[in-house]
């Protein structure tokens, strides 16, 4: 692995940093008040960030996977909300179409998704199938030239805002995971309705909703891949998607470290900066070491993906470790800030609230261990 970023990657990183400073930071109070940052997504589309890895012939920026991970990492340092919106849109919204769609589907959806005109979402989880994704109950029945879908989905990131939903449903329940098929569903499809909007501990401004399918008619031409191929499509895209969430966690971990370090150097008690106390210095040392280890895992997994090498195990390791580091660092950052850290006047309480979900979505930390163990023992 080459540890030096190319000139193009460095320029992209600077562009995202500038965008975060100028556009995202002023928007944070609006997101914290619950507003979805659609306006920012349009601007990100203009900068090429919404289709960063999509080929130029589909309107994308045609950049490599590492560039995409740099973008998620840098966005998430400013706002984990922007990181997850882009990660879900790209990894599990657009990529299923890019890698499993036919030419007609690619031409119909990718240019609009790459420009930011269309936002993507991924609909796998249901009320009774979270970690056990293969046990999903939503059914799809073929009727002439379309499928009729009935069921519901839960915890759908970007739901209610997305224009394109990748929906997993069972076309042959007796076949278990081999009976699951994937569909591209437009937001205005009759029979699709938005259910409960979750009130979350963190990630305020990112929408998470339930979806209901009531005799939802999806044209057969919108089936993604073959019948029964859905579970593989979901798993393959999650493999890669998890690197995006790992990069989001890395952003939160790094932001927590930087805020805590700056504060510890500036805050004086007992006549000296609190950083001069070994108790605080050791906390910062541990936070910095874990952040560096997380960075290496995340960038290595991304590099493997960029080189088209197998990366499932490394993606799970990166997500497992980076999300734990985000949680640990944000807790320690609040502690170093003391009473101020517990208030909304400083960002560390937001980092703390945003970090936790990185250990839950796109596969819990326990599921990441299941995936890693399977790689080791199979
Ligand atoms: N790539 C391709 N195919 C894969 C695969 C992968 N990574 N993983 C499994 N498969 C295939 C298997 O090869 C197998 O097919 P074969 O028998 O032909 O080999 C088939 O799928 C079934 O595999 P398993 O028996 O391993 O499946 P399982 O039912 O035991 O489940 C699991 C495995 C890893 C636990 C899986 O259910 C899982 O990942 N669960 C977590 C679900 C998850 O991550 N949900 C996230 C929702 S999306 C989200 O959170 C987005 C957001 O909001 C941010």
**Domain CATH code at residue 125:** 2.40.110.10
Is residue 297 very low, low, confident or very high in pLDDT (cuts 50, 70, 90)?
very high
Measured in angstroms, how far is the CA atom of residue 100 from the centroid of ligand 1? 16
Is residue 115 very low, low, confident or very high in pLDDT (cuts 50, 70, 90)?
very high
Q: Are residues 281 and 153 in the same domain?
A: no
User: pLDDT tens digits, residue range 332-370?
Assistant: 999 999 999 999 999 999 999 999 999 999 999 999 999
Q: Is residue 95 part of a domain?
A: yes
List the one residue out of 331, 325, 330, 334 whose CA is nearest residue 359.
Answer: 325
Q: Is residue 1 part of a domain?
A: no
Q: Are residues 129 and 19 in the same domain?
A: no
80 touches ligand 1 (CB under 6 Å): no
21: DSSP letter: I
177 touches ligand 1 (CB under 6 Å): yes
Is residue 3 very low, low, confident or very high in pLDDT (cuts 50, 70, 90)?
confident
Q: Which atom of ligand 1 is nearest to the CA of 312?
A: 7
- C-alpha 243/C-alpha 225 separation (Å) is 23
Q: Is residue 2 part of a domain?
A: no
Neighbours of 276 (CB within 10 A): 14
Q: Which atom of ligand 1 is nearest to the CA of 374?
A: 26
239 touches ligand 1 (CB under 6 Å): yes
Q: Are residues 203 and 254 in the same domain?
A: no
Query: Which domain does 329 fall in, by range?
Result: 231-377
In this structure, what CATH number is given to the domain that contains residue 61?
1.10.540.10
Q: Are residues 134 and 95 in the same domain?
A: no
Q: Are residues 201 and 312 in the same domain?
A: no
Kindly tell me the sign of the dihedral angle through the C-alpha atoms of 185, 82, 31, 322.
positive
Q: Which atom of ligand 1 is nearest to the CA of 371?
A: 34
User: pLDDT tens digits, residue range 152-163?
Assistant: 999 999 999 999
Looking at 119, 144, 169, the residue that finishes a domain is 119
Q: Are residues 351 and 294 in the same domain?
A: yes
Q: Are residues 225 and 239 in the same domain?
A: no
Query: What is the total count of domains within the chain?
Result: 3
Pocket test for ligand 1, best of 134, 228, 248 (most atoms within 8 A of CB): 134
Looking at 215, 230, 245, the residue that finishes a domain is 230
133 touches ligand 1 (CB under 6 Å): yes
Looking at 72, 93, 119, the residue that finishes a domain is 119
Q: Are residues 25 and 39 in the same domain?
A: yes
ipTM at complex level: 0.95
232 touches ligand 1 (CB under 6 Å): yes
Q: What is the CA radius of gyration of the chain?
A: 21
């Amino acid at each position: 692995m080459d540890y030096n970023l190319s000139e193009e990657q460095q320029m992209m990183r600077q562009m995202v940093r500038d965008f975060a400073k100028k556009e995202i930071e002023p928007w944070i109070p609006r997101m914290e008040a619950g507003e979805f940052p659609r306006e920012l997504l349009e601007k990100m589309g203009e900068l090429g960030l919404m289709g960063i890895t999509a080929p130029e012939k589909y309107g994308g920026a045609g950049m490599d996977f590492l560039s995409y991970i740099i973008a998620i990492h840098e966005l998430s340092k400013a706002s984990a909300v922007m990181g997850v919106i882009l990660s879900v849109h790209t990894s599990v919204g657009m990529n299923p179409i890019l890698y499993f769609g036919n030419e007609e589907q690619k031409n119909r959806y990718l240019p609009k998704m790459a420009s930011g005109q269309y936002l993507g979402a991924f609909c796998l989880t249901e009320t009774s199938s979270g970690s056990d994704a293969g046990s999903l109950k939503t059914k799809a029945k073929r009727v002439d030239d379309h499928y009729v879908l009935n069921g519901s989905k839960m915890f759908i990131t970007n739901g209610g805002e997305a224009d394109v939903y990748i929906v997993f449903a069972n076309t042959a329940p007796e076949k278990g995971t081999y009976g699951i098929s994937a569909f591209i569903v437009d937001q205005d499809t009759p029979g699709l309705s938005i259910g409960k909007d979750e009130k979350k501990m963190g990630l305020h401004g990112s929408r998470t909703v339930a979806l209901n399918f009531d005799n939802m008619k999806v044209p057969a031409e919108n089936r993604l891949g073959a019948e029964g191929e859905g579970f593989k499509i979901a798993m393959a895209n999650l493999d890669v998607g998890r690197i995006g969430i790992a990069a989001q966690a890395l952003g939160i971990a790094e932001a927590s470290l930087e805020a805590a370090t700056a504060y510890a150097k500036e805050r004086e008690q007992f006549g000296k900066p609190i950083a001069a106390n070994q108790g605080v210095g050791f906390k910062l040392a541990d936070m910095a070491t874990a952040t560096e280890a997380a960075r290496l895992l995340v960038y290595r997994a991304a590099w493997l993906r960029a080189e088209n090498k197998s990366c499932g195990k490394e993606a799970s390791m990166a997500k497992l470790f980076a999300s734990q580091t985000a949680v640990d660092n944000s807790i320690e950052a609040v502690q170093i800030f003391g009473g101020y850290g517990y208030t909304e006047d400083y960002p560390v309480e937001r980092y703390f609230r945003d970090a936790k979900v990185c250990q839950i979505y796109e596969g819990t930390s326990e599921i990441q261990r299941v995936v890693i163990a399977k790689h080791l023992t199979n």
